[in-house]
Amino acid sequence: MPSPRLLVLFGSQTGTAQDVSERLGREARRRRLGCRVQALDSYPVVNLINEPLVIFVCATTGQGDPPDNMKNFWRFIFRKNLPSTSLCQMDFAVLGLGDSSYAKFNFVAKKLYRRLLQLGGTALLPVCLGDDQHELGPDAAIDPWLHTLWEKVLGLYPMPIGLGVIPPGVPLPSKFALQFFQEAPEMCSGEQRGARTEPQSPPSELQPFLARMVTNRRVTGPSHFQDVRLIEFDITGSGINQPSPRVPPKPSMAFPHSFAAGDVVLILPQNAASHVQQFCQALGLDPDQCFMLQPREPDVSCPERLPQPCSVRHLVSQYLDIASVPRRSFFELLACLSPHELERDKLLELSSPAGQEELSQYCSRPRRTALEVLCDFPHTAAAIPPDYLLDLIPPIRPRAFSIASSLLARPSRLQILMAVVQYQTRLKEPRRGLCSSWLASLDPEQGPVQVPLWVRPGGLTFPQAPDTPVIMVGPGTGVAPFRAAVQERVAQGRTENFLFFGCRQRDQDFYWEAEWKELEERGCLSLVTAFSRDQQCQVHAGRCVRGPDIHLPGGGRALRP
């Protein structure tokens, strides 16, 4: 392979942009190009001035916001003091991923494209705008755009004479080699390595804190359709509840802490033990066997979340997201690895541009998991070389939850309000959320339970001025961050707090009812509630024409038409 000439940088929130970037890397290697694929915030952005060819793949989150792993890059690239000739030697292309149902559709990609032009970069072709709302998904825009892109790139970097494009059916070398031990080494991962129970540095994804689960209590009524849990963690010794070294605590705060109302906690879930066993059986793996991971290319590093050495059980239970809905690239690689003619033909069909509607019907719409797909293609699954596991299945991503408590009210404790995700598709087995189902299954009353977590700033901020009133609207579990805010503001003596809360039934899913009532009686909170199923509706043409009554402070009601 020639020295790397193509750089692919991605900003990804849910993993889609990273998957597209990995696809770009594979297609570059098939065209005999060296290629590096990195998250934007892991790349030293000052080195861009030396890059001849860069492809940016970026998603748009929220209301036109950049993903978390490109926010540092985003702040840097829009510095006003950057010269207009900063990137004059760089050819670039921008691929965006967004949802046209949002007002700021692909805002990040569009704005980045314009900014790179302002800094002197040369665009190889117009920005690509992938749309989740298209019936074939983002690939409807990406496929033709990539065809034009590779024509432009090969015009700049022709393939060596006598060599052509590596055909799609030929598997590329895996990123890593798994070197198995004949006998289990003494230091093999039987526990969550990398996580810690004592403070050394602020907890992070690479070094989460193992927090002890204190309580795991259902807070919806027994007849309610949804299982909602109030879960409390003990974060003593985590450093989370210590003052930040960069931001000293305000004198008015009764207790110094490094997270505030509106912040979120991130939790790394695990696959169910039954799914781990089923996966290992389908692929013929011994879960107790241990291995060392070796990169095949010099510019590729081992995943920092995986210990060395590592057991197959740890890899499958705590790293590989076997419960995720696989993307098109999953089927492309399976087709390359399949020795079974009928299964290979079907996999090629599902991974082809013409087969995207069938792939959506088979996989995306019913939310079929990677594990279920492997069970549907047993001959292919049994023939997968272990070296390709990390190429085939993405890592488990952390799940974010709004923090529902304040350290000013509950020192050394952190609470979340979590709805257990479960729904039915046309598949026989109900679809379950990986993290919520895992957390719901943990019972601290049966023995010690530890959960890897860390915190980060959230999107909600509250005024620091003590005399500023705050109106909060949080229906259902959306009230969680406002419960933290109310606790924090009450502890600081701020009484101008107005909360609008709505749910289905007062006696089934009115979260923290007693707590709100007690604060009302103390004059610290004004509460307005609405219960949509607690009164009769007039029905015309099959629809309800009267909404829920809104219960006003003092016992009054306002009828909503």
Helix (H, G, I), strand (E, B) or coil at 11: strand
Report whether 216 belongs to an annotated binding site: no
Report whether 98 belongs to an annotated binding site: yes
Two tokens at 312? 């197959």
Report whether 61 belongs to an annotated binding site: yes
Report whether 367 belongs to an annotated binding site: yes
Report whether 365 belongs to an annotated binding site: no
Check residue 472 and report its DSSP letter. E
Report whether 433 belongs to an annotated binding site: yes
Extract long-range pairs of 431-438: CB within 8 Å, 24+ residues apart. 431/367, 432/323, 434/269, 434/271, 434/321, 434/323, 434/324, 434/396, 434/399, 435/267, 435/269, 435/399, 436/399, 437/272, 438/269, 438/270, 438/271, 438/272
Report whether 16 belongs to an annotated binding site: yes
What CA–CA distances, in Å, run from 194 to 30, 53, 189, 268, 291? 36, 36, 10, 12, 17
Helix (H, G, I), strand (E, B) or coil at 498: strand
Residue (of 539, 464, 547, 457) closest to 202 by Cα position: 457
Q: Measured between alpha carbons, how far is 31 from 146 in angstroms, rounded to an integer? A: 13
Report whether 508 belongs to an annotated binding site: no
Report whether 176 belongs to an annotated binding site: no
**CB 527 within 8 Å of CB 516:** yes
Report whether 401 belongs to an annotated binding site: yes
Q: Measured between alpha carbons, how far is 367 from 433 in angstroms, rounded to an integer? A: 11
Report whether 65 belongs to an annotated binding site: no
Q: At what angle do helices 16-30 and 328-337 cross, to 10 degrees?
A: 40
**CB 353 within 8 Å of CB 143:** yes
Report whether 271 belongs to an annotated binding site: no
What is the Cα gyration radius of the chain?
A: 26
Report whether 53 belongs to an annotated binding site: no
User: What phi, psi does 473 have (nearest 5°)?
Assistant: -120, 110
How far separated are the first and last CA of the chain, in Å rounded?
69
Across 543-560, b (16+ Cβ under 10 Å) vs e yields eeeeebbbbeeeeeeeee
**CB 220 within 8 Å of CB 418:** no
Report whether 288 belongs to an annotated binding site: no
Report whether 132 belongs to an annotated binding site: yes
Report whether 236 belongs to an annotated binding site: no
Report whether 532 belongs to an annotated binding site: yes
Report whether 533 belongs to an annotated binding site: yes
Report whether 279 belongs to an annotated binding site: no
**CB 472 within 8 Å of CB 485:** yes
Q: Measured between alpha carbons, how far is 44 from 536 in angstroms, rounded to an integer? A: 61
Cis preceding-peptide flag for 251 (omega within 30 of 0):
no
Report whether 465 belongs to an annotated binding site: no
Report whether 101 belongs to an annotated binding site: yes
Report whether 215 belongs to an annotated binding site: no
Residue (of 367, 377, 383) closest to 428 by Cα position: 367
Report whether 362 belongs to an annotated binding site: no
Report whether 409 belongs to an annotated binding site: no
DSSP string, 202-215: ---SSS-EEEEEEE
CA–CA–CA angle 132, 135, 137 (5° rounding)? 35
Q: Which residues pair with 522 in a beta bridge?
A: none
Query: What is the side-by-side order of every strand in the sheet holding 310-311?
Result: 176-180, 290-295, 310-311
Report whether 402 belongs to an annotated binding site: yes
**Known binding-site positions for FAD:** 367, 399-402, 433-436
Q: Binding site residues, as ranges?
A: 12-17, 59-62, 97-106, 132, 367, 399-402, 433-436, 477, 532-533
Summarize the annotated binding site for FMN as residue ranges.
Answer: 12-17, 59-62, 97-106, 132
- Which residues carry a binding-site annotation for NADP(+)? 477, 532-533
